[in-house]
Structure 1
Amino acid sequence: MWNLSFISEEDFYNHVQLTIDKYGEKLQSFDLKRFNKNIVDPIKLIFDKSVYRSSWEQIISNEIFRQRDKSNNNDIGYFHQTIFKYIEHCRVPNNGEQGGWDVIFENPNGITMPDGSRVSRVYVEMKNKHNTMNSASSGKTFIKMQNQLLQDDDCACFLVEAIAKNSQNIKWEPKVDGQKMGHKYIRRVSLDQFYSLVTGQRDAFYNMCMVLPEVINKAVSELDSSTIPNDTVFDEIRDISAQQNYDSEDLSIAMAIYLLGFSSYLGFE
């Protein structure tokens, strides 16, 4: 039985599948050439292995994961933002359209604010984490919201954070040109609170989280087997280490790691 009333099972599955598709080339296998495309730091890898008391294979695996993961935030941002196009009264404009807002929530019956007042529309700027905006970016976003309020006196503007410090729907008061600014209709809202407002269900975000793992697993199980990474980096490093004339296998692998970054350096050439 499907437990989400605000989005159909088919729409949710398709949305998860499209998010996985965004991973694209990041699912491609890593060989040594790809691994060292942006030259890795051998010193860091050697420190990490010793300090974390890990194996060479695990350290290499961790570095591959890091390289894959560093560009995944945009993919997860797609998941957080685009899901709202399936939810009643919400739309997700194309990039640069309708003021460049990430989500627009519009309800002809009115949207109740925390102070009891009502507006017809909420314009949303969405961020993955609460600490991803510097002061200049915060100021620019606040001014954009301020301008929207001047153009539309029946709206509110939300900075919605997927990973907020707390569950919250509070007045946003950033510093703009060194001065603290604020307006009751410019608000800083955690993702769970936005789900609650949009769906009318207090635990809507929680319920989504509860069905998500199973849906992801189903979508991944239906992927073509060619999309399953077969990383060969450690095997290639071990082959290089076998050519080194050291008594210790550990030092031989360390030398192979050194050569990733220092092959032209004095003494290594």
Structure 2
Amino acid sequence: MENKYVNFISDEHLLNCIATLYKSYVKAKSNVSKKNFYSNKVDTIKLIFDAKFNEINEESLIQTEILRQIDKSINNSIGTFHEQILGGIKGYEIGNLSGFDIRATDDSLFADIKNKHNTMNSSSSEALFQKLAGYADTYKKAKCYWVQILAKNSFLELWSGEINGKEYSHSRVYKISGDRFYSLLSGQEDALFQLYTALPIAINDFLNLINDEETSHENSALSEIKSEIEISKRSIIDQITFENYSYYLGFNEL
């Protein structure tokens, strides 16, 4: 039976990957209570500038700030989504905390996947190179890859250069962009593009499969704050400032 979504993994596998990511979104949204929203202290002075200079009303501004917090917690889950997708290609599997993200079942390939190209400092880059080189030395026929899903260019090249003042190179350690890695594992040049174009359809199909109760989880931070201002008669920003900084001199008068 022909696949509906992409040619390199089953429809069932794609929907399962979407379901896993959906659960991460639900968890992230439900975790943004007022207590969690305040946990790192809200910069309400910045919020004043944001509201005035960007011409955003206070409620929309706070909703945007809440979404930003949700987005931070989702970023790692997006990387996991790609690992799970790629692990569904025949001949490959995910690492499940084994030190690698993707490996070929015949040990001919090991990969570490980063969603964005700029997520590592020099120390983590050095550690990653050493880890990949270790796999290459242990498995003599293996090629090892640092995968950048969202890279600045489309590329596949040997990873060599200076990291922390030391020269690093290995004949079987590579850097590769997301499109090239999807192509490498699937054998289909446009595999990542297939996924991109299929996702809106597959996500809609997934959402139609789950019931309304499962889609109703929302963060409570804004509603909790709005309940407070009905009593205090403060503005939203003043309420947040009071609850975060009432111990500062003068702020208890808000």
What is the distance in 2 between the residues matched to 1:22 and 1:237? 24
Q: Distance in 1 between the 2:128 and 2:32 partners?
A: 38
- Three-state SS of the structure 1 residue aligned to 2:112 is strand
- The residue aligned with 2:104 is 105
Q: Pick from 50, 67, 70: which aligns with 2:69?
A: 67
Q: Tell me the CA shift for residue 266 of structure 1.
A: 1.3
Deviation at 1:72, TM superposition (A): 0.7
Query: Which residue identity is paired with 2:158?
Result: K
Q: Which residue matches 1:260?
A: 243
Matches within 5 A, 1:149-168: 149-168=136-155
Following TM superposition, by how much is the alpha carbon of 1:226 offset from its aligned partner in structure 2, in angstroms? 5.0
2:97 aligned residue: 95
Count of residue pairs the alignment pairs up: 249
For 2:160 and 2:45, the matched residues in 1 are separated by 43
1:244 offset after TM fit, Å? 5.9
- Contact 2:86 2:182 (C-alpha < 8 Å) held by counterparts: no
Structure 2 SS opposite 1:126: strand
Normalising by structure 1, report the TM-score. Answer: 0.83
Which secondary structure does the structure 2 equivalent of 1:78 belong to? Answer: helix
Which secondary structure does the structure 1 equivalent of 2:251 belong to? Answer: coil
Partner of 2:13: 11
Of 174, 183, 198 in structure 1, the residue corresponding to residue 170 of structure 2 is 183
1:179-222 deviation per Cα after TM superposition (whole angstroms, max 9, x unaligned) = 33223421100111011111111101101111011212232342
Aligned-CA RMSD value: 2.4
The one-letter code of the counterpart of 2:110 is Y
- After alignment, is 66-75 or 148-157 more displaced? 148-157
Residue of structure 2 equivalent to 1:115? none
Could you tell me which residue of structure 1 aligns to residue 130 of structure 2?
143
* Contact persistence 1:42–1:260 (CA under 8 A): no
The separation in 1 between residues aligned to 2:39 and 2:132, in whole angstroms, is 41
Contact 1:42/1:261 (<8 A) preserved: no
Please show how residues 1-80 of structure 1 align to structure 2 within 5 Å. 2-28=4-30, 30-80=32-82
Deviation at 1:239?
Answer: 5.2
Structure 1 unmatched runs, 5+: 108-119, 246-250
Q: CA deviation at 1:50?
A: 1.3
Structure 2 counterpart of 1:25, one-letter code: K
Q: Which structure has the highest helix share of the two?
A: 2
* Letter aligned with residue 228 of structure 1: S
Q: Deviations over 1:71-128 (max 9, x none)?
A: 11121111011112211111112212xxx11101256xxxxxxxxxxxx711101111
- Matched with 1:112 is none
- Look at both structures and tell me which one has the larger radius of gyration over its CA atoms: 1
Q: Which amino acid aligns with 1:195?
A: Y
SS of residue in 1 equivalent to 2:7: coil
Residue identity opposite 1:186 in structure 2: V
